[in-house]
């Protein structure tokens, strides 16, 4: 049997997203949340989950939809002049209540109505959030300083900063992708190729952070975080860090706004329900992927137990200590699972070589070890402040692009660019469905994705807050629209396209 991999090879793919998401939280919430909080949140959640969860192969962490929803809730608090961190305590408590009720009443069984249609829209949304967020960071280099194109004496320095930042971000992405594909090459030994692939993202961050350090005269923005293990937020801009415990009734706040009143406390139940929906989808969709039949796992999924652990422990702790909420992160969870797999190649009935999973080392030790190392990384704050934000944007771009292969909607969108149907890749659904219903189903699914993403970007946060509920209604939309147009898709078409 394959032994568990070394913790260090799994630690790297978990630290990089934690730092990247931490920087995104800091930018989006004016440093109310930051890298320190994100690392602590991921580490703490992992420790609890490694001991109490039913499926410890899942890795908890910040996710793209949760980041988008946090931004929406922050904007609501700003518009109502209510302290964000104090309001998050009530949001966490309401979310905990809803999540516990979901677990107690066996509502994870509702996931059986979620077909590939909903799963792929949700997966595609995560990728779009990553990719757009990455390019937004790069574009801001040219918009943040008004003198990039002017005749002002500062213009050359600003142009240099924008140009170097763009190169660092893009080359971080290209290098990480090159490392990811390195096992397919013939250079060096299989062990070296695997090490380069496992540590590709970390190597890319270190390489281009070092290059940026060599250009110290070019002021590319780096991570802004405390030198000590203290909260990122300060008390109303005084320079003094807030305390770790967030008092929802306290007088001193990080934003300078008042703590929530009774009316706002009950109002937070609405965004808390949206957060609970995102947590429900993240947890269950990731666990479904982990527990696919072809992975040959011996232990069950424990869907409700895992939600109960989140509701009782993780969400309240995140709320009271001012930490980002964590959910099952699909990419990190699948990386954890694949590192524990043993595969063997065999021939199928058509003579084609296929790879099958023969064994998975199902245990809790790797999960525990990863997150112990993640918490130990808090001592690296002096090093982390040398990482340029654009390098982390390159990591975001990498995470978004690498999550797309295997998403059928993504594959079908590429068919729109192939004018000759005879040149279509011979996927099962291509051979089973006529061209017109195939493309119309793609258009239908892509339209739902476009509406969903637009909801996350609506300037009015009171409208944006409904995007998790739109996700929850996608299974109903999937059922109703084909019934309204029975002449467009037959039952056989839908079965082939939405298995």
- For the cut 80, the answer to whether the pLDDT of residue 346 exceeds it is no
Closest CA to 325 of 52, 55, 3, 73: 73
Q: Dmax of the chain from CA atoms?
A: 72
> How do 327-328 and 341-347 pair as beta strands?
unpaired
Q: What is the torsion angle, in degrees rounded to the nearest 10, for the CA atoms of residue 120, residue 122, residue 128 and residue 131? A: -90
- For the cut 90, the answer to whether the pLDDT of residue 387 exceeds it is no
Q: Please say whether the beta carbons of 158 and 145 come within 8 A.
A: yes
- pLDDT tens for 405-419 read 878 888 889 888 888
- pLDDT tens for 444-482 read 999 999 999 999 888 888 888 888 899 889 999 999 988
- For the cut 90, the answer to whether the pLDDT of residue 396 exceeds it is no
User: Distance between CA atoms of 191 and 175, rounded to whole angstroms?
Assistant: 19
**Position 356 confidence tier, pLDDT thresholds 50, 70, 90:** confident
**Position 335 confidence tier, pLDDT thresholds 50, 70, 90:** confident
pLDDT at position 63, please? 87
- For the cut 80, the answer to whether the pLDDT of residue 14 exceeds it is no
pLDDT at position 316, please? 95
- For the cut 60, the answer to whether the pLDDT of residue 1 exceeds it is no
Six-digit token string for 2? 């394959």
Q: Please say whether the beta carbons of 237 and 243 come within 8 A.
A: no
**Position 358 confidence tier, pLDDT thresholds 50, 70, 90:** confident
- pLDDT tens for 265-282 read 999 999 999 999 999 988
Q: Please say whether the beta carbons of 319 and 91 come within 8 A.
A: yes
Closest CA to 37 of 51, 10, 17, 18: 18
Q: Residue written as tokens 């920087």? A: 23
Six-digit token string for 332? 């990190």
Q: Which helix (H) or strand (E) holds 383?
A: helix 381-384
User: Distance between CA atoms of 126 and 278, rounded to whole angstroms?
Assistant: 12
**Position 378 confidence tier, pLDDT thresholds 50, 70, 90:** confident
**Residue 356: how many other CB atoms lie within 10 Å:** 12
Closest CA to 310 of 323, 300, 325: 325
Instruction: Compute the average pLDDT of residues 2-9.
Output: 54
pTM of the model: 0.83
pLDDT at position 148, please? 56
């Amino acid at each position: 049997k394959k032994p568990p991999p070394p913790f260090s090879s799994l630690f790297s793919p978990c630290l990089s997203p934690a730092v990247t998401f931490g920087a995104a939280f800091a930018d989006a919430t004016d440093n109310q949340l930051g890298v320190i909080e994100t690392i602590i949140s991921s580490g703490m959640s992992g420790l609890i989950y490694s001991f109490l969860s039913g499926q410890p192969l899942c890795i908890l962490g910040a996710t793209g939809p949760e980041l988008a929803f946090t931004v929406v809730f922050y904007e609501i608090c700003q518009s109502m002049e209510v302290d964000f961190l104090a309001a998050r305590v009530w949001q966490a408590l309401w979310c905990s209540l809803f999540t516990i009720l979901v677990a107690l009443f066996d509502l994870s069984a509702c996931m059986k109505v979620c077909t590939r249609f909903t799963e792929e829209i949700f997966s595609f949304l995560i990728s779009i959030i990553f990719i757009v967020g990455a390019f937004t960071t790069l574009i801001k280099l040219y918009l943040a300083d008004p003198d990039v194109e002017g005749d002002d004496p500062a213009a050359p320095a600003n142009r240099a900063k924008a140009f170097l930042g763009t190169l660092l971000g893009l080359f971080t992405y290209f290098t990480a992708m090159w490392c990811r594909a390195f096992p397919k090459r013939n250079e060096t030994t299989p062990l070296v190729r695997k090490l380069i692939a496992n540590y590709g993202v970390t190597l890319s961050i270190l390489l281009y952070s070092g290059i940026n350090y060599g250009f110290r005269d070019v002021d590319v923005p780096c991570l802004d975080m405390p030198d000590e293990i203290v909260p990122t937020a300060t008390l109303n801009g005084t320079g003094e860090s807030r305390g770790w415990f967030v008092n929802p009734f306290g007088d001193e706040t990080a934003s300078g706004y008042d703590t929530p009143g009774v009316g706002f406390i009950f109002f937070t139940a609405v965004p808390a329900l949206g957060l609970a929906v995102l947590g429900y989808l993240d947890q269950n969709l990731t666990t479904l992927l982990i527990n696919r039949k072809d992975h040959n796992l011996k232990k069950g999924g424990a869907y409700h137990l895992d939600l109960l652990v989140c509701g009782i422990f993780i969400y309240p702790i995140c709320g009271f200590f001012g930490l980002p909420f964590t959910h099952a992160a699909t990419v990190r969870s699948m990386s954890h699972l694949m590192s524990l797999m043993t595969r063997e190649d065999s021939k199928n009935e058509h003579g084609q070589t296929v790879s099958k999973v023969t064994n998975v080392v199902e245990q809790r030790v790797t999960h525990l070890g990863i997150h112990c190392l993640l918490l130990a990384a808090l001592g690296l704050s002096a090093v982390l402040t040398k990482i340029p934000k654009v390098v982390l944007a390159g990591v975001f771009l990498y995470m978004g692009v690498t999550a797309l292969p295997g998403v059928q909607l993504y594959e079908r969108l590429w068919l729109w660019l192939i004018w000759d149907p005879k040149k279509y890749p011979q996927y099962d659904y291509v051979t089973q469905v006529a061209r017109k219903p195939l493309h119309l189903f793609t258009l239908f699914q892509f339209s739902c994705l476009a509406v969903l993403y637009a909801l996350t970007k609506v300037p009015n946060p009171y409208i944006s807050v409904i995007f998790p509920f739109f996700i929850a209604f996608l299974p109903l939309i999937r059922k109703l629209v084909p019934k309204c147009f029975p002449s467009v898709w037959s039952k056989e078409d839908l079965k082939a396209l939405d298995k």
